[in-house]
């Protein structure tokens, strides 16, 4: 299959499952909360990835007040990085940079600061902690990082990616949204962006089911180049 070359204004990345993986740590923390509240662990995992934690708690913990759910969200996300550290100390997977990410980000960093950003459903506290730990593997962070604290409606609503494009001062229709989760892909599509789904987080068949514009197994199949101030992204899809 011939490579696809896109001329774009910017690339907007999801974080977890797209740039980094914290799945073992997140799943472990969900185990604690499922046990505490008597929840169906498998149902939570199938529906919570790519969605703001507070939204999941509103669905699964309707008996709590909103203030209590906010506090539980803070406690949940504050527990992810320490749990990841515990797992890594045991020689297990905790936090890692996903394939192809560093190379692609290095290429994007050759252009202007508004050429890319991160748009995550995580809170600022968790995103900052995770990115700080993985800094050596990821390199310098973008000027703009949109988190759950910045929008009232998270993915699958278009608000997060619309805000990302606004922060960068670019046209959302000339942006590539890179996502691993159905909720995130739907958010990018609803915002009017081109959407590239990656198979590094959610089950590939589930994210493909929402009909993203393109799909790759991981970001080693994607490269970026700046020519005369213009951004060109190449997607090498498999046959």
Of 59, 89, 119, which marks where a domain is finished?
A: 89
pLDDT at 188 over 90: yes
User: Looking at residue 230, what DSSP letter applies?
Assistant: E
pLDDT at 168: 98
Lowest mean pLDDT among 38-42, 43-47, 152-156: 43-47
- Please identify which of the residues 14, 144, 150, 180 carries the catalytic annotation: 14
Q: Answer whether residue 209 shows pLDDT above 80.
A: yes
**For residue 173, what is the domain's CATH number?**
3.40.50.1000
Q: How many CB atoms lie within 10 A of CB 40?
A: 11
In whole angstroms, what is the distance from residue 235 CA to residue 217 CA? 11
| Same-domain status, 57 and 151 | no
- Helix, strand or coil, per DSSP, at residue 164: helix
Residue 135 has pLDDT above 80, yes or no: yes
CATH number of the structural domain spanning residue 54: 1.10.150
User: Residue 148's domain spans which residues?
Assistant: 4-22+96-235
The answer on 209 and 175 residing in a single domain is yes
- 60 and 102 fall within a common domain: no
Nearest Cα to Cα of residue 233 among 104, 106, 143, 100: 104
Residues 80 and 118 in one domain: no
- Choose among 176, 175, 214, 186: nearest CA to 198: 214
Catalytic choice (9, 16, 150, 180):
16
Task: Give the pair of three-digit tokens for residue 197.
Answer: 């789904």
- Three-class SS of residue 197? strand
Say if residue 183 is in the same domain as residue 211.
yes
Q: How confident is the model at residue 226 (pLDDT cuts 50, 70, 90)?
A: very high
Does residue 10 share a domain with residue 56? no
Establish whether 171 is a catalytic residue: no
Q: What is the pLDDT of residues 57-68, one digit of tens each?
A: 999 999 999 999
13 with 138: CB under 8 angstroms?
no
Mean pLDDT over each residue of the chain, to the nearest integer? 93
Q: Are residues 17 and 82 in the same domain?
A: no
Extract the runs of DSSP E, i.e. beta strands, from 14-113. Answer: 20-21, 96-97
Q: What is the distance of C-alpha 167 from the center of its chain?
A: 17
Question: How many structural domains comprise the chain?
Answer: 2
- Residue 17 sits in the same domain as residue 135: yes
Do 127 and 37 have their domain in common? no
Are 112 and 210 part of one and the same domain? yes
Q: Are strands 4-8 and 230-235 parallel, antiparallel or unpaired?
A: antiparallel
Radius of gyration of the chain (CA): 17
- Residue 181: per-residue pLDDT: 93
Q: Is 14 annotated in the active site?
A: yes
Which of 47, 68, 89 corresponds to the end of one domain?
89
CA 28 to chain centroid, in Å, comes to 19
pTM: 0.88
Q: State whether 67 and 123 are in the same domain.
A: no
């Amino acid at each position: 299959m011939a490579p696809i070359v896109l001329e774009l204004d910017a690339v907007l990345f999801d974080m977890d499952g797209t740039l980094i993986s914290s799945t073992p740590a997140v799943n472990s923390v969900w185990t604690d909360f499922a046990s505490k509240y008597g929840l169906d662990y498998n149902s939570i995992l199938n529906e919570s990835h790519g969605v703001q934690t507070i939204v999941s708690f509103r669905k699964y913990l309707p008996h709590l007040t909103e203030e209590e759910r906010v506090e539980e969200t803070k406690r949940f996300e504050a527990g992810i990085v320490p749990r990841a550290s515990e797992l890594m100390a045991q020689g297990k997977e905790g936090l890692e940079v996903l394939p192809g990410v560093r190379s692609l980000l290095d290429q994007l960093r050759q252009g202007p600061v508004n050429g890319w950003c991160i748009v995550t459903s995580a809170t600022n506290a968790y995103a900052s902690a995770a990115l700080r730990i993985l800094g050596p593997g990821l390199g310098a962070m973008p000027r703009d990082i949109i988190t759950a604290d910045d929008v009232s409606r998270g993915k699958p609503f278009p608000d997060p990616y619309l805000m990302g494009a606004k922060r960068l001062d670019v046209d959302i229709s000339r942006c590539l949204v890179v996502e691993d989760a159905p909720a995130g892909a739907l958010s990018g599509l609803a915002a009017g962006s081109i959407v590239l789904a990656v198979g590094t987080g959610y089950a590939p068949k589930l994210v493909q089911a929402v009909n993203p514009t393109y799909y790759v197994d991981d970001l080693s199949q994607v490269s970026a180049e700046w020519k005369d101030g213009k951004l060109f992204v190449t997607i090498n899809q498999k046959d």
